[in-house]
């Protein structure tokens, strides 16, 4: 018991000390690590499916591509291990980040030698899942590192750094690599992603020293999912947040496939939705923390959700009128508004995850909705093929409107900008 209390005391002192020794270094390392993660996510989300679709693969057959998202939704299952165990080298969190990033690099390098073909789907899926399991573990450990080393006053900035880094990574992984795919090919694209993941380890190495100053025993405290679920108000937060994340995933994940089916060339999609959209996302991630300083959290969340809904309606209208310009404009605005909304949600989740099992809390808050949404994404290509794009887009817009309204009712009407009691 005394050892546990000492561990908690060390944790409570860590944020202020880390910030005093260079909080900018922490945010920079987190941002660069998320740039590499964004490249992986960007290529999986916005590269693999469009590339295969452009090669004539059936829309319904692309459901297996979305299985690569599953580890990011299931990471809460092994997050208690990330919380409970500190490896006997490096720091409590960096000891997970660096080895898992190395494993991701090796898996990506192996994938580069396997050309996408019907006979190689099983091997590609296995290697892809290995890479995304490692990347999802890095994501969990990075979130916990943020909780450990960034004080509450800068949590919104940290959430912006995360989403901004992912957005910039998506410019490369889901934009530049898609646009340059005819020149790079499969092997060149994968090697570039692996190289970026390897380089992202360097700034994390600089955090090992500050983190080791607050050394914890190898077994800090056995983290449990049940302990997270028993937290006050966690049940309603988890339900409403999961529904919102599910609807967000459906809102913007299929726009590139829609444009391909409308006859837009893959290179144009890569340059617009793969470069312009993530840059707009990065700008939104920069502006969102400033927005949170000027207005209550409730108002900022309503504003971001409203912009997201209006932009999605543009996509729907463009789909109904077969107007690719409207679909492209709406898609860019939707992802930017969604990125700003994710910053608001990320700040809330970092606040709700404060405690000795931050990795478990955050992974469950963010991951459960992502897992359910990813499972739905695997089924939706077949649904789209059956009911058509216009009806699908309309149903997604209505679903997002309902889930956003339900989530935002978490906030009390007289909310003053404090989020701890939500």
Q: Name the nearest CA neighbour of 280 among 139, 147, 167, 184.
A: 167
* Span 81-91, average pLDDT: 79
Give kind and range of the element (H or E) at residue 371.
helix 358-387
Quick: pLDDT tens for 246-287.
898 888 888 888 998 899 887 788 778 777 887 888 888 888
Of 281-295, 310-324, 371-385, which has the strongest mean pLDDT? 310-324
Look at residue 422 in the predicted model and tell me its pLDDT. 43
Of 101-105, 166-170, 412-416, the poorest mean pLDDT is in 412-416
Domains in the chain, please, with CATH? Answer: 2-408 (1.20.1250.20)
CA quadruple 194, 197, 199, 202: dihedral, nearest 10: -150
Q: pLDDT band at residue 126, thresholds of 50, 70 and 90? A: very high
Cα(321)–Cα(323) distance, integer angstroms: 5
Q: pLDDT band at residue 157, thresholds of 50, 70 and 90? A: confident
Strand, coil or helix: what is 85?
strand
Q: Residue 7 has what DSSP assignment?
A: H
Q: How far is CA 52 from the centre of its chain?
A: 23
The set of residues, in sequence order, having a beta carbon less than 8 Å from that of 20 and lying 6+ positions away, is none
The DSSP bridge partners found for residue 85 are 219
* Span 139-163, average pLDDT: 81
Report how many helices (DSSP H) and strands (DSSP E) the chain contains, helices first. 21, 0
Q: Name the nearest CA neighbour of 204 among 165, 152, 256.
A: 165
């Amino acid at each position: 018991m005394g050892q546990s209390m000492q561990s908690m005391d060390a944790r409570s002192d860590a944020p202020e000390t880390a910030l005093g020794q260079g909080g900018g270094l922490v945010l920079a390392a987190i941002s660069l690590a998320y740039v590499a993660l964004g490249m992986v996510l960007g290529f999986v989300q916005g590269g693999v499916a469009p590339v295969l679709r452009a090669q004539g693969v059936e829309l319904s057959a692309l459901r297996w591509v979305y299985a690569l998202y599953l580890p990011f939704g299931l990471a809460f299952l092994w997050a208690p291990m990330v919380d409970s165990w500190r490896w006997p080298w490096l720091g409590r969190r960096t000891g997970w980040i660096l080895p898992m990033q190395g494993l991701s690099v090796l898996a990506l390098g192996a994938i580069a030698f396997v050309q996408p073909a019907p006979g190689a789907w099983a091997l590609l899926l296995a290697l892809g899942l290995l890479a995304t399991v490692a990347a999802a573990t890095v994501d969990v450990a990075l979130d916990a590192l943020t909780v450990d080393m960034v004080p509450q006053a800068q949590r919104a900035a940290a959430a912006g750094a995360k989403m901004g880094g992912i957005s910039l990574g998506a410019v490369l992984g889901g934009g530049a690599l898609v646009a340059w795919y005819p020149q790079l090919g499969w092997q060149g694209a994968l090697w570039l992603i692996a190289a970026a993941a390897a380089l992202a380890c360097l700034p994390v190495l600089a955090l090992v020293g500050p983190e080791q100053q607050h050394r914890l025993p190898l077994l800090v405290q056995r983290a449990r999912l049940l302990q997270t679920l028993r937290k006050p108000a966690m049940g309603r937060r988890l339900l409403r947040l999961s529904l919102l994340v599910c609807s967000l995933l459906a809102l913007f994940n299929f726009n590139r496939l829609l444009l391909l089916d409308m006859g837009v060339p893959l290179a144009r999609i890569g340059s617009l939705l793969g470069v312009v959209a993530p840059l707009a996302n990065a700008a939104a991630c920069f502006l969102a923390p400033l927005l949170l300083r000027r207005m209550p959290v409730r108002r900022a969340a309503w504003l971001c959700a409203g912009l997201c809904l209006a932009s999605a309606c543009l996509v729907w209208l463009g789909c109904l009128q077969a107007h690719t310009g409207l679909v492209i404009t709406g898609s860019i605005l939707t992802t930017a508004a969604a990125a700003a909304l994710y910053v608001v949600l990320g700040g809330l989740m970092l606040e709700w995850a404060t405690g000795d099992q931050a990795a478990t809390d955050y992974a469950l808050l963010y991951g459960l909705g992502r897992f359910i949404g990813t499972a739905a994404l695997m089924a939706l290509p077949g649904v789209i093929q059956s009911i058509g794009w216009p009806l699908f887009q309309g149903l997604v817009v209505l679903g997002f409107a309902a889930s956003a309204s339900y989530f935002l009712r978490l906030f009390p009407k007289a909310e003053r900008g404090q989020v701890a009691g939500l």
